[in-house]
Amino acid sequence: DTEVTQTPKHLVMGMTNKKSLKCEQHMGHRAMYWYKQKAKKPPELMFVYSYEKLSINESVPSRFSPECPNSSLLNLHLHALQPEDSALYLCASSQDPASNQPQHFGDGTRLSIL
Amino acid sequence: RKEVEQDPGPFNVPEGATVAFNCTYSNSASQSFFWYRQDCRKEPKLLMSVYSSGNEDGRFTAQLNRASQYISLLIRDSKLSDSATYLCAVNNNAGNMLTFGGGTRLMVKP
Looking at chain B from residue 29 to 48, which residues have their Cβ under 8 Å from any Cβ of chain A?
Answer: 31-32, 34, 41-46
CB-CB contact of A48 with A33 (8 Å)? yes
pLDDT in tens, B64-97: 999 999 999 999 999 999 999 999 999 876 667 8
Task: Determine the residue type at B70.
Answer: Y
DSSP for chain A, written as a single string: --SEEEE-SEEEE-TT-EEEEEEEE-S--SEEEEEEE-TTS--EEEEEEETTEEEEE-S--TTEEEEEEETTEEEEEEES--GGG-EEEEEEEES-TTS-PPPEE---EEEEE-
Kindly report the nearest CA distance between residue A80 and chain B, in angstroms: 25
Task: Determine the residue type at B16.
Answer: G
Contacts of B53 (CB under 8 A, 6+ apart): none
Residue B35 has pLDDT above 90, yes or no: yes
The answer to whether B92 faces chain A, any CB pair under 8 Å, is no
d(CA B31, CA B66): 10
CB contact under 8 A, A55 and B98: no
Terminal-residue alpha carbon distance, chain A: 31
pLDDT in tens, A19-36: 999 999 999 999 999 999
pLDDT in tens, B5-29: 999 999 999 999 999 999 999 998 8
CB contact under 8 A, B96 and A31: yes
The answer to whether B97 faces chain A, any CB pair under 8 Å, is yes
CB contact under 8 A, B96 and A94: yes
Q: Which residues of B touch A100 (CB under 8 A)?
A: 31-32, 91, 93, 96
Report cis status (omega within 30 of 0) of the bond before B10.
yes
Residue A76 has pLDDT above 70, yes or no: yes
